[in-house]
Amino acid sequence: MQLISGTQVAEKVLAECKSDIAQLASLGLKPGLAVVLIGDDPASRAYVRSKDKKCRDLGLHSVKHELPASTTQQELLALVGQLNLDPTIHGILVQSPPPKHINEAAIVQAIDPAKDVDGFHPINVAKLALEDPTGFVPCTPLGCQRLLLEAGIETSGAHAVVVGRSMIVGKPMALLLMAKGKGGDATVTVTHSRTRDLASITRTADILIAAIGRPDFIRAEHVKEGAVVIDVGINRVDDLIAEKGYRLVGDVAFNEVAPKCAAITPVPGGVGPMTIAMLMANTLKACKQLNASR
């Protein structure tokens, strides 16, 4: 069984970013990312801090806007408008989920698609469906595809089953896997909470992507012998022995599934580190494309 280390592949992606950043610096360019957080959700705050730190470590220009939960839709739209016009900012990310009074779809649509490094803007969703390489692909599925490529997993002709149909993971993952070319050309089945007899479908998967949000949901009975399993899930479960009182587990019951697999990602240390690495890569892409269009 091959353990696919997201930590190692993410390091490789970040090393590529570093060399790109040096090249851009020689042209007088410094990629910039603005991350906007509304409210004080501890998990979101932790994500935003780690994104900011990763940017700084790499030598990117990083701007963090931490706004109170009382921020209005108009105030947020005004900030997004400013960031769209700011020439030092190439990527804009509004941390999800915002407080309930904020219309998230309207905020996403207000972001300049050329700076939408999360890949959530309708223009970028369309570009992914159209296989237009100038678009931005959501970081998590993009990271999963890179893991498959780096691990030497052949996707062409394989039956890939995606469990989950969210706009952040499941749907773009399916589009990437069915796209023509390297890391694609798979026969894709998308499943979700209404799928009948899920295990009978997942057991036909050569490549199984779990993006459900339920701890240890995928069991040995869901997986065929020799399958490749990518576990996107990040779930907190209570653990009295752990220092923080909880530990992180995936959507896959690793201990019982791993022995059946040709390859599998762990949690933590699998897809998680790839998401942030691909965010950095998307920011560099935005910087290069914006510069080329000026």
Q: Please give the positions annotated as active site.
A: 51, 95, 118
Q: Closer to ligand NDP at the Cβ: 12 or 192?
A: 192
Instruction: Measure the CA–CA gap between 220 and 258, rounded to whole angstroms.
Output: 8
Per the CB < 8 A criterion, the answer to whether 30 and 60 are in contact is yes
Q: Closer to ligand NDP at the Cβ: 61 or 165?
A: 165
Q: Closer to ligand NDP at the Cβ: 24 or 273?
A: 273
Answer for which of 44, 195, 289, 291 binds ligand NDP (CB under 6 A) is 195
Contacts of 206 (CB under 8 A, 6+ apart): 158, 159, 160, 224, 227, 228
Answer for which of 151, 211, 252, 263 binds ligand NDP (CB under 6 A) is 211
Per the CB < 8 A criterion, the answer to whether 32 and 92 are in contact is no
Q: Does residue 4 bind ligand NDP (CB under 6 A)?
A: no
CB of residue 18 to ligand NDP, shortest distance in Å: 21
Q: Does residue 232 bind ligand NDP (CB under 6 A)?
A: yes
Interface with ligand NDP (CB under 6 A), residue total 26
Q: Does residue 91 bind ligand NDP (CB under 6 A)?
A: no
Looking up tokens 């050309």 gives 185
Q: Which stretch binds ligand NDP (CB under 6 A): 126-134, 159-167, 200-208, 252-260?
A: 159-167
Q: Which stretch binds ligand NDP (CB under 6 A): 31-39, 72-80, 117-125, 269-277?
A: 269-277
Q: Closer to ligand NDP at the Cβ: 187 or 235?
A: 235
Answer for which of 30, 45, 64, 165 binds ligand NDP (CB under 6 A) is 165
Per the CB < 8 A criterion, the answer to whether 198 and 183 are in contact is no
Q: Closer to ligand NDP at the Cβ: 180 or 194?
A: 194
CB of residue 294 to ligand NDP, shortest distance in Å: 32
Q: Which stretch binds ligand NDP (CB under 6 A): 32-40, 110-118, 178-186, 187-195?
A: 187-195
Per the CB < 8 A criterion, the answer to whether 35 and 178 are in contact is no
Q: What is the phi/psi pair of residue 146, to 5°?
A: -65, -40
197: left (phi over 0), alpha (psi -120 to 50) or beta: left
Per the CB < 8 A criterion, the answer to whether 94 and 111 are in contact is yes
Answer for which of 9, 10, 128, 169 binds ligand NDP (CB under 6 A) is 169
Look up residue 95 and give its DSSP letter: P
Six-digit token string for 38: 């509304």
Per the CB < 8 A criterion, the answer to whether 27 and 290 are in contact is no
Looking up tokens 């576990």 gives 231
Answer for which of 4, 76, 102, 168 binds ligand NDP (CB under 6 A) is 168
Instruction: Measure the CA–CA gap between 165 and 146, rounded to whole angstroms.
Output: 20
Interacting residues toward ligand NDP by CB under 6 A: 140, 163-166, 168-170, 191-195, 198, 211-214, 232-235, 251, 271-272, 275
